[in-house]
Amino acid sequence: MGWARAEGPAAKKLWGGRFTGATDPLMEKFNESLPFDRRMWAEDIRGSQAYAKALAKAGVLTEEESATIVDGLSSVASEWEAGSFEVKQGDEDIHTANERRLSELIGPLGGKLHTGRSRNDQVATDTRLWLAGAIGRVRADLQALIAAAAERAEAELDVLMPGYTHLQPAQTVRWSHWLLCHAASWQRDDMRLADLLPRVATLPLGSGALAGNPFGVDRRFLARELGFFGGVCPNSMDAVSDRDFVAETLFAASLHLVHLSRWAEDLIIYSSGPYRFVQCSDAYATGSSLMPQKKNPDALELMRGKGGRSVGGVAAILAVIKGTPTTYNKDFQESWELMFEAVDTLHDCVRIAHGVLSTLRINPEAMRRGLSADMLATDLAEYLVRKGVPFRETHHISGAAVKMAEDRGCELSDLTPDDLRTIHPLFADDVAEVWDFRRSADMRDTEGGASERSVLEQIQKLRDYLQNA
């Protein structure tokens, strides 16, 4: 895009009538936001076109004047799209730049557009419009990530692996069950974004600087015109000072990145030498500058790092908002860069995660080798529970069997029924069925459990959610 500032006389500032002294050039740079809020050029034009229509509806503009302004703004949009828009000295933000160019194209009529409007309600409108669209795009890719997890879970349903607590081998689960564990957290993240959207898509336009609009613009018309399905902000002072929706977005983004970080941490561990359960494709890994044999899961490590960085953004936006008195304050300019970075990082990570998951190679044999008979100690205790022995007693009995195997230097499954009967008389020959890892997973057949039936049920629930999301 044409970013270099054009030479020539400075544009008249929107607020310059009160001021006669020159602004410190450093202050000009310190104050301007166009380098980053130019991302909202399309939203600023949409909002202005809707406002021109509302002014005509209120009788402030004629229908012809409104149409001329709308068409002029479309021409400004075309310049942005073509990369030919020239930024000039004095264009301190996207609102100033667009209105200045509009007046160059259609003459003094462009000066009527801002009637009854303030940059306070204008910037809040632009920000909400941009963010609502961005959240929609993130959700589409997040749902694709969830769908990919469900597809892999179904395709690799028979693969067994160790489940861990405290990073110690605990019980037998399906690889699919592990995938769905993370997909469940991603589903909550998508639900959070969906819950947030109505609060983002609430219209502040028509609030003026803080006290409301004196020309009777129809705010509900504006809400419909701009797709603000959350209605209108109920209080004009709050409308221009509310940045809760930005803070909520940063929190939702950070929490999702925390979830992706935990998923990435699992995969980093599972791809390491002692495990070798999985391997990232070459598209998402790098090598070592010194050691030729290395394949580093850099995409996952970067995701983990960005999760940590995102937490700082949440603290930063809360600190910015905390110190501001009612209503609008220039401090809010800081919220844009925090918001843009958070949304960009979130969207990038979601798409990278989808790529990693879709191309990840698994090693079922390595996962199977990670299973050990001592992980069935709980199953051994449950065997006696089914014979009427209280669990607190069977827990100790199973522990004694583990100790016996340790003392003999053998696997728990190497103990014969006769060996086990020396610990408790109710162990029968059918106790040998306990040493079946697949049976162990399938015994966990409650809703949400690791059994084949339950995992298939979880997959269907995810698909039902995605169908209706």
Q: How many CA within 13 A on the CB side of residue 119?
A: 17
Q: Which two tokens stand for residue 40?
A: 């909202």
The C-alpha angle 423, 428, 432, rounded to 5 degrees, equals: 95
The residue from 78, 84, 272, 288 that is catalytic is 288
Q: Which two tokens stand for residue 106?
A: 């259609």
From CA 362, how far away is CA 96, in angstroms rounded?
55
Largest Cα–Cα distance in the chain? 101
**335 an active-site residue?**
no
**288 an active-site residue?**
yes
Distance of CA 371 to the CA centre of its chain: 34
- Taking the alpha carbons at both ends of the chain, their separation in whole angstroms is 36
Q: Which residue has the tokens 């970067």?
A: 302
Alpha-carbon distance values, 37 to 8, 28, 94, 101 (Å):
23, 15, 6, 16
3-class secondary structure per residue, 198-241:
HHHCCECCCCCCCCCCCCCCCHHHHHHHHCCCCCECCCHHHHHH
Q: How many CA within 13 A on the CB side of residue 349?
A: 29
The residue from 166, 185, 207, 254 that is catalytic is 166
From CA 450, how far away is CA 173, in angstroms rounded?
6
> What are the residue numbers of the active site?
166, 288
